[in-house]
Amino acid sequence: MTFEPYFPDHRHLLGVTMVRRARMLPNAATGDVEVARGTRVTQTDTVVQGAAPAPFKLIDAARFFDVRPDKVEPLLQVGDGSSVEAGDVLAQRGRRRLLAPIDGTVIAVSRGQIVLQGIAEMVAIQAGLNGTVIDVQVGHGVVIEGYGGVVQGVWGNNRQVIGGLRLEPPDGIESIHGGGLEADYRGALVVTRRTLRPLSLEVAQDQEIVGIIAPSIAPNLRRAAEASPVAILLVEGFGTMRMSVPVMQFLETVAGRPGSLDAATPGALESRRPELIVNVPFDPNDRPVLPNINMTLRPGAQVRLARGDSAGSMGVIVNLPKTPILMDNGLRVPCAQVELATGEKITAPLANLEVTGA
């Protein structure tokens, strides 16, 4: 074993496990919790709903018209408390007009600037899994505990959807637009083993697919993926990587079942991981437990290579050398010997490993 315990990152691939997830309104939003502690909920039940904070727009009218702030008031077409729609005239000077960028209410006009408050967006949060409410935070949300299969990815475009899990047709997502396949995939979470392309995103949106689980996407398509109304979960990352065999085998096993896709966008202070939770049967006499996210690396642990030449590959740790290993780049670092799914054995820095099991 290594001299110092090493606590790796966790990116789970679990056929069935106990799942405990918080379902909360966005930060600074408040609302009404619809369920009580101990309530049994299904995947599509609404557990909390409320209004997200209304956005503000600060519009510099003096700069727009190139006048002193004290010269703006005579140009105004609105006043405090005025309701406006996007495109309405806020102020006018000759033929030059300042238009409202959003629907909302004028809440202040001061020093040549107009403060516009947008309309609060109503938010309804669904349970996302079958389970029991084990905690309630009044006005904010709940914590739900249940059971299911879990696969966590690398990146998501910050969408949350629920739908039935479907494997893409043999000719790929792009073939869904013809041949009478449209109805079969409308409202579905579609699994593809291929790298996403621009046409993949277009077809998914046109055919009302609600979510895609894919291995990768080209970096230059990131903005298009972020703007897409379709929830997108990348299991491997950016580039041209294909879906790893263990992940694809899991997704093939659960195809046809209802799933909840939380395509969270990773952040430095964000604890959520982009993930798919699928309802799966389990033996009630042998209930799985929560994954241990505090375990150290050990021989026999299933791991994923997050970086390096074998990035995306999965394997099992067969040995943990006690002393650091000299790598090809000249650095001497703590390593593990990993047997990949192909049978190949490699030496990988501990920092490159993620634990996928419990």
CATH 3.40.50.720 fits 297-355, yes or no: no
Predicted pLDDT of residue 8 = 82
Interatomic CA distance for residues 104 and 313, integer angstroms: 50
Selection from 246, 271, 249, 251 nearest residue 261 by Cα: 251
Q: Do 274 and 262 form a contact (C-beta atoms < 8 A)?
A: yes
- Say what the alpha-carbon torsion angle 192, 197, 203, 204 is, to the nearest 10 degrees: 50
Predicted pLDDT of residue 128 = 93
Strand partners, 84: 104
Predicted pLDDT of residue 268 = 67
Selection from 150, 247, 251, 149 nearest residue 191 by Cα: 251
Interatomic CA distance for residues 273 and 86, integer angstroms: 36
Span 56-118: which CATH code? 2.40.50
Predicted pLDDT of residue 1 = 44
Predicted pLDDT of residue 45 = 96
Please report, for residues 289, 303, 322, the alpha-carbon distance to residue 298 in angstroms, rounded to integers and kept in the order given.
Answer: 20, 10, 12
Predicted pLDDT of residue 90 = 94
Predicted pLDDT of residue 157 = 96
Helix (H) or strand (E) holding 314: strand 314-319
Judge whether 56-118 and 297-355 match in fold: no
Predicted pLDDT of residue 180 = 66
Residues of the chain with confidence (pLDDT) below 50: 1-2
Kindly report the pTM of this predicted structure.
0.80
Query: Which string of DSSP letters, residue by residue, matches 191-239?
Result: E-SSPB-HHHHHHHHHTT--EEEEEEE-GGGHHHHHH-SSEEEEEEEES
Task: Provide CB contacts within 8 A for 118, sequence distance 6+.
Answer: 54, 55, 56, 57, 102, 103, 104
Q: Which sequence spans correspond to the domains of the chain?
A: 10-51+127-278, 56-118, 297-355
Q: Do 262 and 191 form a contact (C-beta atoms < 8 A)?
A: no
Interatomic CA distance for residues 45 and 33, integer angstroms: 12
CATH of 10-51+127-278, one of 3.50.30, 2.60.40, 1.10.10, 3.40.50: 3.50.30
